[in-house]
């Protein structure tokens, strides 16, 4: 039930949950986990070893740095750079994301 749009790159060892949407041009790098019902927006980059929880949204052109853990129900704003773990239910934006 996942939707993987065109020009998406999913690297080795990734796990994509049920009903995930990965939008045009997004990149999910090695060993990352994308939880069920989450969205990776247009041109977002999820670097290696990242975990994205359930029902989370990674905005367009956002970048999540390696090994960051994103909780459930998180929203990461467009263009943000996630440099550290983000707790359940938080909304973050900016560079670095706060």
Residue 30: active-site member: yes
- Sign of the CA dihedral running 87, 48, 61, 95: positive
Spatial separation of the C-alpha atoms in residues 64 and 49, rounded to whole Å: 10
Active-site hit among 30, 42, 67, 93: 30
- Yes or no: say if 72 and 54 are a contact pair by the CB < 8 Å rule: yes
Q: Which residues are catalytic?
A: 30
């Amino acid at each position: 039930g996942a939707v993987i749009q065109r020009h998406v790159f999913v690297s080795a060892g990734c796990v994509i949950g049920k009903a995930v949407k990965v939008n045009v041009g997004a990149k999910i790098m090695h060993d990352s986990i994308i939880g069920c019902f989450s969205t990776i927006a247009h041109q977002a980059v999820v670097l290696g070893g990242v975990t994205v929880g359930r029902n989370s949204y990674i905005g367009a052109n956002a970048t999540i740095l390696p090994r960051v853990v994103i909780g459930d129900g998180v929203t990461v704003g467009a263009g943000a750079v996630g440099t550290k773990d983000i707790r359940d239910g938080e909304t973050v934006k900016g560079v670095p994301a706060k």
